[in-house]
Structures are given as C-alpha cells and as structure tokens.
Structure 1
Amino acid sequence: MNDDYPGRPKLLKGALIEFSKRFIVPVPNIIIFQYNPETMVRKLETWYSGGQEGGQGGNSEPVNAQPHDPPETFDLTLEFDAADDLDNPVNQGIAIVAGVSNRIAALEMLLYPEEEAGGLLGSAVGALAGAAGGAAGITSNAKPVPRGKVPDLLFCWGPSRIVPVRLTSFSVEEQAYSPQLSPIRAKVTVGLKILQPRNLPCSKEVSSELLKTSYNIYKKVKQGLAASNMVGQSADAIMGMLPI
C-alpha cells in the first residue's frame, strides 16, 4: 500500500507531556511513544460509604452518595527498540552508545522530584563545582537545594483522551544488550492515575490551569459519548426489553 495515499488515516502516537522546572527552557518535555501499545487496562473504583475507595472504609457496601468522580487508572506497556534509531543518521550515535537507555531514563525522571532552581544543568554545575572545591581543599557552606514535587504530566491518547496523570507504578524489562551492555530492546510497564481537579494544587500557573481544563474536557467527552449511545437506541428496542 502506498503510504502517500491521500485517504490513508494519519497514525497518532501516544505521549506523556511533562511540565517541569528542571529544564532551563520553560517548554513542555514531550515523550512520544516509539510504538503505541496494543492493549491498555482501564480501571474505575467504586466509592464506599467508609469514605475510601476500594472498600477500605468501615462499610464494604458501595453507596449512592458520592462526593467526587470515581478514581480512574490506566495500565500499559511501552516497547522500545534501538533498531529504528540505528537506521536514523540523527539518532544513530546515541543509539550506538546508549541503546534505548535515554528513552527509559526520560520516563524514569518522571518519578523523581524536581529541584527548585537550576534544574538538571544547575545540579550538574553544582556537582562539578563541589568536586573542584574539594580537590582544592575548599569547604563550601552552601546548603543543598531543597527537593521539589514530581512534575505535572499529561497523558495523550488521541484528541479525546488528554488527561492529567501521575505515575503510580513503573517496571522495566530489558530484553537485549549491546556489546557495551546498554539495553537495545526493553519493555516498560507503567501505571497511571488520573488526577482530578481536587488532586491538583491551587496554582495560577499556566500548566496547572491546563491540567484542570484537560480533565474537564475529558469528562465532557465521556458524557457526550454516553449521550450518543442513548440517542442511538430506538424506542422500540427499549420497550421490547421491558417486562410489560
């Protein structure tokens, strides 16, 4: 099939967008999936009268009164292969040295808290300065940079599913190695929990407002899909299901 055929649908790739202060340039860090996972498990939790999700409260019976939207999670596995990069002149050098380690590291950093100032480069410069001062016998009285919060994330899975999330689980299966023992194939299994507006900090930052807006749009899309299902049902079909 000709890939240039005008009627061919464009393949959209899933991605995680990080809004972080660890980089010097204040732009989102977009981590595009090399391959879209073939399956994804979604879970919604029922509210229990004990005040906690998942039946952890004093009463194990679900109730009708519910103070907020049900918690929702995604579980998916991402596959990485350095073969594509080895054929790409732009990324070939990194692939030869690191394999897919850079892709895995980009995901791992989403679990680490941000530094308050200076970001990754500031930390590297500070470490070098400390090493140089120690070699010269100079003692520094500088206090360590306080640790911050984990970065804000958007999970992008098509135009109708862009939601704020937080990583809740992370595991890596390295499957093959280069002669330098860098992984050249790997599977990364991640768990994502959708953050509702009540879970997001009260902040006037653009990223915070974007996260809240994306959740509200995601919920509106769900409501619209549910409404379209009701419209598609004929009155005769509904009456035929009633025991009268």
Structure 2
Amino acid sequence: MSVDIYRKTLMGSLVIIPPTGGARHVVVFQLNPASLRRRLQPQLAGGDRESRSGPIQFAAAPTETIDVELEVDATLQLPAAPGQPAASDIRPQLAAMESLLYPSSTQVQMQQALLSSGTLEIGPYLAPTVVFTWGSSRAVPVKVVGYSVTEEAFLPSLDPIRARVSLSMQVLSYSDVMPTDPAWSLFMAYQSTKEQEATGGFSSASQDILGVNPTTL
C-alpha cells in the first residue's frame, strides 16, 4: 500500500470576523510553530473549607490560554494577488497581527465625529471576533492577550525581513460572551468536538489495568 507523501499540510491561522459584518480576513502562519502550549484552569466552586457542605460544582467553563511562537520570513512571502510580486519585507504580516490589538481607525474617527457633534460620549470600541484554527477539527474563538515581536534582520531601508512573534491567546467560552455573539456557537462546537474525541480516550478494561472496578466506586 502506497503512502501519499505529498499530502497537503494544513497551516495554522487567525480568522478575523469584523464586528459589523463584511468580508472575513485570514492571517495564515507562514510556518507552523514547532510547539503549542495550552493551559486550562478549571473554574470550580465547593470542595473547600468554606463550602464543604455543598457539592463541587462548575462555576464556569475553564479558562484556557494558548501560546505559540511564530517565525515570519520574507523569503517565504506569497504574492498578495496572482500576478503580483511578493512583498520584500514582512511589515504586512506583522501589521495584520498587530491590527488585532487596536480599534479600527474608522471606528475612532466616527466616534470622535459624533462626540464633536454632541451626539454621544466616547465609549468602548467593538472588537472583531478572532478564531484560532489549528487543523481541520480545532477552530476556537480567542482574544489576543499578549503579543511581542523580535525583529532579527533588516533591509538597508530598515524594513524587517525576519522576526519571531510570541502570541498569547485566551479562549472565549460561553461564560465570556452572550449567546448572540459568534464566539458562543464557535466555542460550543469546539467543546462538542472535544467531548466526541474524549470517548476514544476512555478504556472499558479499567479493572484489568488498575485492579479496581470503576463501577463499584
């Protein structure tokens, strides 16, 4: 039986869904990071001295953080459109990720115009929904909580051509957003997929392995 050594490799990405609709944008990782760190902190109530009379309960979905280290290199650039040359530096890739940390200039200008006309006071700016994708079965809504970049090489114009990016993201669960938010249904699908995968991780032969019959516990 032959093995398809040319099987397409999926690339990690960030999908940006604008808060007011419109076209979605995708930031595709040039290289998949060699490792991905995930931390889950359960949100539990009960089981301590102050509340030992009650059962242990889930107060909310766990707080999950995802950390990745990305490499960005101008030699791996793809053309922005067919027939166009690739950019000679990596400013577009860095700008695409950093734009997730700012309210859009359009929002700022619109609210400032309304403020100047006495229509409203400046309030919070709507952020886009960001979806971290990693393979065909993991698409999870996140908010970027940490970003740092080390630019390592430059053109004579001082435009960067190679950099390392540290990206820290907090998963947005149903405990963080309203049911009308796109992130709510995205997280429910993410958790549902995880629960389906978990069925393959449980053993029906636990008594033989552990020496304990789990049905009697």
Q: What is the Cα-based RMSD across aligned positions, in Å?
A: 3.4
What CA distance in whole angstroms lies between the structure 1 residues aligned with 2:5 and 2:24? 32
Residue 62 (structure 2) pairs with residue 66 (structure 1): no
Residue 162 (structure 2) pairs with residue 168 (structure 1): no
Change (3 A) 1:87 1:146: closer
Residue 38 (structure 2) pairs with residue 42 (structure 1): yes
What CA distance in whole angstroms lies between the structure 1 residues aligned with 2:170 and 2:177? 12
| Larger helix proportion of the pair | 1
Deviation at 1:201, TM superposition (A): 3.7
**Normalising by structure 1, what TM-score?**
0.69
Change (3 A) 1:218 1:21: closer
Deviation at 1:218, TM superposition (A): 1.1
Residue 93 (structure 2) pairs with residue 106 (structure 1): no
Say which SS state the counterpart of residue 60 (structure 2) adopts.
Answer: coil
Change (3 A) 1:240 1:37: closer
- Among 14, 17, 22, which residue is 2:15 paired with? 17
**Normalising by structure 2, what TM-score?**
0.77
* Equivalent residue, structure 2, for 1:241: 210
Deviation at 1:212, TM superposition (A): 1.9
* Count of residues paired in the alignment: 199
Partners of 1:113 and 1:147 within 8 A in 2: no
* Equivalent residue, structure 1, for 2:157: 180
* Equivalent residue, structure 1, for 2:131: 154
**Identical pairs, percent:** 28
What CA distance in whole angstroms lies between the structure 2 residues aligned with 1:157 and 1:196? 17
Give structure 2 stretches of 5+ with no counterpart. 110-115
* Equivalent residue, structure 1, for 2:201: 229
Partners of 2:152 and 2:163 within 8 A in 1: yes
What CA distance in whole angstroms lies between the structure 2 residues aligned with 1:119 and 1:149? 8
Partners of 1:170 and 1:189 within 8 A in 2: yes
Letter of the structure 1 residue corresponding to residue 128 of structure 2: P
What CA distance in whole angstroms lies between the structure 2 residues aligned with 1:49 and 1:35? 41
Letter of the structure 2 residue corresponding to residue 90 of structure 1: Q
> Runs of 4 or more off by more than 2 Å in structure 1?
5-8, 46-50, 84-92, 141-147, 237-240
Residue 171 (structure 2) pairs with residue 194 (structure 1): yes
Deviation at 1:108, TM superposition (A): 0.6
Give structure 1 stretches of 5+ with no counterpart. 51-57, 124-140
Q: Deviations over 1:124-157 (max 9, x none)?
A: xxxxxxxxxxxxxxxxx66798651222111111
Deviation at 1:13, TM superposition (A): 0.7
* Equivalent residue, structure 1, for 2:77: 85
What CA distance in whole angstroms lies between the structure 1 residues aligned with 2:74 and 2:146? 24
Deviation at 1:47, TM superposition (A): 2.7
